[in-house]
């Protein structure tokens, strides 16, 4: 089922990521980490839905989406970036396999942080975030979504990696065997993994090689 919604406001979170605040359709509920198919309700765009993840607390009165814009695709994300408040959109019922399954380590690449933003905000609101960790990989420090909020939420257990321009608070490198061996002590915990498909494949293979149980991996299937 599709739900009608309206753009209330938008603002930049990073140089190419925008936070969109939408009205919350009556009766619409979702589990933190689930995605929806979102479309702009206008000629030429109505049939072009794309998957995005509500990043707001599941109890909030509005819906937030945190969306990386790809101008070079000339697709939906670019069209979203050009919308003005008042624009009409539709969202599907929620779907997806990412959800909270218990304490563990969140491992994200780039915009793959979005399902974890929803889960982390939910856990933080319920004061249940202790005992969790974060490894968040990006190209540069300027690409990191919600850095301050994540540092505040995870404290010493937040680890930020960048491919280029490592500086104070950002380690140089990628999520590889060397990094995981240094950052993970408990191999029996859950691992939440989300990023581009090559990131997911590489990280999950490495985790399992190092001792993570296949049924302890939470990812979009």
Ligand X SMILES: Cc1cc2nc3c(=O)[nH]c(=O)nc-3n(C[C@H](O)[C@H](O)[C@H](O)COP(=O)(O)OP(=O)(O)OC[C@H]3O[C@@H](n4cnc5c(N)ncnc54)[C@H](O)[C@@H]3O)c2cc1C
Taking the complex as a whole, the smallest distance from the CB of residue 209 to ligand X amounts, in Å, to 25
Which stretches of the chain bind ligand X, using CB under 6 A?
Answer: 35, 50-53, 65-68, 70, 72-73, 75-78, 96, 111, 114, 220
Facing residues of 3 across strands? 91
Q: Toward ligand X, which CB reaches closer, 68 or 174? A: 68
Q: Toward ligand X, which CB reaches closer, 120 or 179? A: 120
Q: Toward ligand X, which CB reaches closer, 50 or 183? A: 50
Q: Toward ligand X, which CB reaches closer, 78 or 205? A: 78
Taking the complex as a whole, the smallest distance from the CB of residue 68 to ligand X amounts, in Å, to 4
Taking the complex as a whole, the smallest distance from the CB of residue 85 to ligand X amounts, in Å, to 20
Burial (CB count <10 Å: 0-12, 13-18, 19+), residue 75? middle
Taking the complex as a whole, the smallest distance from the CB of residue 46 to ligand X amounts, in Å, to 14
Please identify the residue of the shown chain whose CB is closest to the bound ligand X: 75
Q: Which long-range contacts (CB under 8 A, 24 or more apart) does 34-37 make?
A: 34/94, 34/95, 34/96, 34/98, 34/99, 34/115, 34/118, 35/94, 35/95, 35/96, 35/98, 35/115, 35/220, 36/91, 36/92, 36/93, 36/94, 36/95, 37/91, 37/92, 37/95
């Amino acid at each position: 089922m599709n739900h009608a919604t309206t753009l209330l406001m938008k603002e930049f979170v990073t140089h190419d990521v925008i936070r969109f605040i939408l009205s919350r359709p009556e009766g619409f509920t979702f589990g933190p980490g689930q995605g929806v198919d979102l479309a702009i309700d206008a000629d030429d765009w109505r049939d072009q839905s794309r998957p995005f993840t509500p990043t707001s607390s599941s109890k909030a009165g509005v819906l937030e989406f945190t969306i990386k814009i790809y101008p070079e695709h000339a697709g939906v994300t670019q069209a979203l970036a050009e919308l003005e408040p008042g624009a009409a959109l539709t969202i599907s019922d929620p779907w997806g396999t990412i959800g909270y399954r218990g304490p563990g380590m969140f491992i994200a690449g780039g915009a793959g942080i979005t399902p974890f933003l929803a889960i982390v905000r939910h856990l933080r609101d319920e004061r249940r975030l202790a005992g969790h960790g974060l490894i968040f990989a990006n190209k540069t420090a300027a690409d990191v979504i919600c850095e301050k909020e994540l540092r505040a939420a995870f404290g010493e257990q937040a680890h930020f990696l960048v491919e280029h321009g490592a500086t104070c608070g950002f380690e140089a490198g990628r999520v590889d065997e060397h990094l995981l061996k240094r950052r993970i002590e408990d191999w029996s915990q859950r691992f939440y993994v989300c990023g581009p498909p090559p990131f997911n494949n590489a990280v999950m293979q490495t985790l399992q090689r190092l001792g993570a149980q296949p049924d302890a991996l939470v990812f979009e299937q």
